[in-house]
Chains A and B, each alone.
Chain A
Amino acid sequence: MDKLIIILVMAEEKWQEADFLCQEIESRGYKAVILDMGLLGKPSGPCKITREEIISLSGRDIKEVALITDRGKRMPVMVDGAIQKVKQLYSGGKIGGIISVGGTTGTQMGTSIMKSLPFGVPKFAVSSTASLPAFAARYIGTADITLMHSVVEIAGLNSLMKNVLSRAAGAICGMVEASAKVPVPLLGESKKLLIAMTHFGPCEECAVNIRNLLEKEGYEVIGFSAAGIGDRAMDGIIEKQDIFKAVIDLCPGGIGEELLGFTRAAGPTRLEAAGKKGIPQVIAPGAVNWGSPLKRDYKPEYSLRKRFDYDALRSFLKLSKEEMITVADTMAAKLNKAKGPVKFLIPLGGWSSLDKRGTDYYEPELDRAFVDELKKKLRPDIEVKEVDADLETPEFAQAVVEALREVVTA
């Protein structure tokens, strides 16, 4: 393997660990180089890619940067410069993978740098703060970054630290070897037409039914988890790369979650990417009538709502009528801007496996409030089609596939 594994580190603090990682990688037959993204002080040992080189690549004057004594203000300089370096190496075909070792600052910088590389290039962060609440989300975002919790503080090479770093070296080498074997295909040249689809646990049967039908028709379906990150990643890929023939937004719950400040919030621009690019889309309200606020944010009035305990970590609450109307209103406004064909399918017998007709959770009057508002606000050329079945039935999946056929040929 002549490609390099880049080791990102603040060499004034954790050079020893990076050096050990470098040896562990090289003992497995791969080449590694240390990139110093250090902020203050001096590197504790030699680095193949020096901080001076990184600063000059950032476009800033080295003397001017030397005057910055605030760590926080040096961070963007080093991140910008390292991104330039990493991109240069990548476009020259020289990068096999990238790995960072750090605490909060080092992981924050390291993962920001990794995010500049495309999907599929192995990205690995060893971090002492991997498990702190909300940190993983910040480090990974929508990228394919692998995060390893070091458990112990990264401060000196003790036997626990060596064990952790040795496993990290094994993992990144294994990933580099794997990605050489199974590279990311140039998606535009993929033999099959690709469809993007959002997924969510309570709507899984529907997703499976749709996928089986589409595969028979020669499509390949790429699923994105509608947990607030995957669905955002889908919109990001749609916007940046032309790879999808159409989008089935089966579970667009992230819009309501965003409006209401719940945990699956998918950002303010969710549901807009496909419309902006003119890609055909079929929308369904999979579990849109459920919300997932944090338990500590529960308001007193939530005790009056229907609640479903999904597993030890997740509970869902039914949205109120007012909330359903607000969500319909926002979704209509987003879809009205679409440049391509759109169809909205409504299953009348419940919107997920949790609230099928016949269960306690089926509340058709609430679902109806959403549909009425949606019809009132959507552009007249966007069809809202009602299907007399629950979302998880084969009939509904069949209807989605038919709608897809229509929008694709429209």
Chain B
Amino acid sequence: MTLKKILLVGTLDSKGREVAYLRQRVEERGWGVITLDVGTLGDPMCPPDIPQEEVATAGGGDLSQMKSKGDRSYSVGIMTQGAIKKVAELYSRGELAGVLAIGGGTGTAIGTAVMRSLPLGIPKVMVSTVASRDVSPYVGTRDITMIHAVVDLVGLNPITRVTLDNAAGAIVGMAAGATVVTASRPLIAATSFGISPISAELARPLLEKKGYEMVTFHANGMGGRALEELIDQGLFAGVLDFVTHELADQLYQGYCGDIGNDRLVTAARKGVPIIIAPGGLDCIVFNSIDDVPDKLKGRKLHHHDIRVAVRTSEEELEQIAMTMAQRLANSRGPVGVLIPLGGWSEVDKAGADLFDPTVGQFFVDTLKKLLTREVSLREVECHISDPKFAHLAVEWLDEMICSRR
């Protein structure tokens, strides 16, 4: 514990005073500090522990050349890569208790890139003047905490001192807590979604009875990507992917559509047992009625709040079935597809706005034709929110996991 230190990342040519102040504040609280300089314009205002030359070299660049060249985005790229390398060294030596970075736009881009290279659980605090914007490129799928600086970080004044003190308090408070994710029981990942089913909630007690612990991901675009990344980190013994709705949104860049191309891929690649259900594939969700493309107008609609859900067609489901089959082919572990014939969300059941069992059946038939032999598909005569469905999913996953032991 005492050997571990808090890493401070910043451009010491422009934010050296703030970094020096943070160092003092963190040290006062009894923690060691390592400063890492990612500046390339001028000389550092305070002595760094890891100087800019060293970071540039680690990133495959040459500082004096970068200074004379003056190509900003090139320098930022080199310093980002270099900082990630230096931090990986510290982390692998077990010296890292947490990362605190400060910056404006550029400093935030570098600082959060460093944080994103570290696993879940290591405290990550970014003091940023651009925290109150679209932070999805900065935070992404990671457990990064953003402190909004409100005022610009140029020099110490009565306002910035308050913010910096808060930041020092926050990182030390976090570092003093648990930083290693420890699970006493095997973890199962599940997906959920607002208008989609309660399958995950129904599965929880069933899994707990069998000695598992369940972690839920909100399949809203970011959640699906986080799920894939944490499967990759090896955290889960199995996956109940009840909600694959993101695949439908991706067809039209809907509300949850920003998922990249890795959805469903990781478990198959890593050989982690997975059950997949069509939760929410009955609809494509848009931020508002104005965002619905002309092509989809006239379809069955459901108003959620300001968001609207549009019924998926046979054509779209065929496309999704193709994507699913392709991504699950050559899986290294057991994969099961479990389809409830009575509807796939709260708005797709008898009497609800988007209910359409014919289209649902079409999807099942199409998928059956496309799936490779190693993937098995089972149909269930009930709605996805029926306790029977969750029960079957849990039993099936448990069988898969047990047969591998």
**Residues of chain A at the chain B interface (Cβ within 8 Å):** 24, 28, 72, 103, 119-120, 122, 124, 128-134, 136-137, 140-153, 155-156, 158-164, 166-179, 181-185, 187, 190, 194, 197, 199, 201, 204, 207-208, 211, 215, 220-225, 227-230, 233-234, 263, 309-314
Separation in Å of the B32 CB from the closest CB of chain A? Answer: 16
Contact in complex: A174, B223 (CB < 8 Å): no
Q: Does B175 contact A (CB under 8 A)?
A: yes
Residues of B within 8 A of A147 (CB): 131, 135, 145-146, 148
A-B contact pairs, 9 of them (CB 8 A): A133-B136, A144-B166, A152-B226, A160-B235, A176-B169, A177-B173, A207-B152, A233-B151, A309-B73
User: Closest approach, in angstroms, between the C-beta of B403 and any C-beta of chain A?
Assistant: 24
How far, in whole Å, are A185 and B159 apart by their CA atoms in the complex?
A: 8
Complex: A147 Cα to B143 Cα, angstroms:
10
Distance to closest chain A CB from B116 (angstroms): 11
When distances are taken between beta carbons in the complex, the residues of chain A under 8 Å from B159 are 119, 184, 222
In the bound complex, do residue B146 and residue A223 qualify as a contact, i.e. CB atoms below 8 Å apart? no
Interface size on B, residues (CB 8 A): 86
CA distance A234 to B159 in the complex (A): 12
Q: Which residues of A contact B123 (CB under 8 A)?
A: 167, 170-171
> Once the chains bind, are A155 and B170 in contact (CB under 8 Å)?
no
Q: Are A190 and B200 in contact (CB under 8 A)?
A: no
Docked CA distance A183–B161 (Å)? 9
Q: Is the CB of A136 within 8 A of B146?
A: yes
In this assembly, does B204 line the interface, its C-beta being within 8 Å of a C-beta of chain A? yes
Binds A, one of B182-190, B260-268, B339-347, B371-379: B182-190
B250 at interface, CB cutoff 8 A: no
Most buried by B among A143, A147, A184: A147
B168: chain A residues at CB < 8 Å are 174, 178
B134 & A314 in contact (Cβ 8 Å cutoff): no
Residue of A nearest to B135 (CB): A136
Contacts of A223 in B (CB 8 A): 151-155
| B132 lies within 8 A of chain A by Cβ | yes
Give the complex CA separation of A167 and B120 in angstroms.
12
The residue of chain B having its C-beta at the shortest distance from the C-beta of A148 within the complex is B145
Contact partner of A159 (CB less than 8 A), chosen from B154, B166, B179, B213, is: B213
Tell me, rounded to whole Å, the shortest Cβ–Cβ distance linking B330 to chain A: 28
State how many angstroms separate the Cβ of A221 from the closest Cβ of chain B: 7
B residues less than 8 Å from A230 (CB atoms): 129, 149-152
B223 nearest CB across to chain A (Å): 7
Q: A227 is contacted by which of B25, B133, B201 (Cβ under 8 Å)?
A: B133
Complex CA–CA separation, A243 to B166 (angstroms): 22
| Chain B residues whose CB sits within 8 angstroms of the CB of A221 once the complex forms | 154-155, 157
- B163 interfacial contact with A, CB 8 Å: yes
Q: Are B169 and A140 in contact (CB under 8 A)?
A: no
Rounded to whole angstroms, the CA-CA distance of A161 and B168 in the bound complex is 23
Instruction: Write out the residue numbers on chain B whose beta carbons fall within 8 Å of the beta carbon of A179.
Output: 162, 165-166, 169
Most chain B Cβ neighbours within 10 Å, of A131, A152, A153, A199: A131
Query: How far, in whole Å, are A171 and B127 apart by their CA atoms in the complex?
Result: 13
Q: Could you say which residues of chain A place their CB within 8 Å of the CB of B125?
A: 171
Does B83 sit at the interface, judged by CB under 8 A? no
User: Once bound together, how far apart are the Cα atoms of A151 and B136, in whole Å?
Assistant: 12
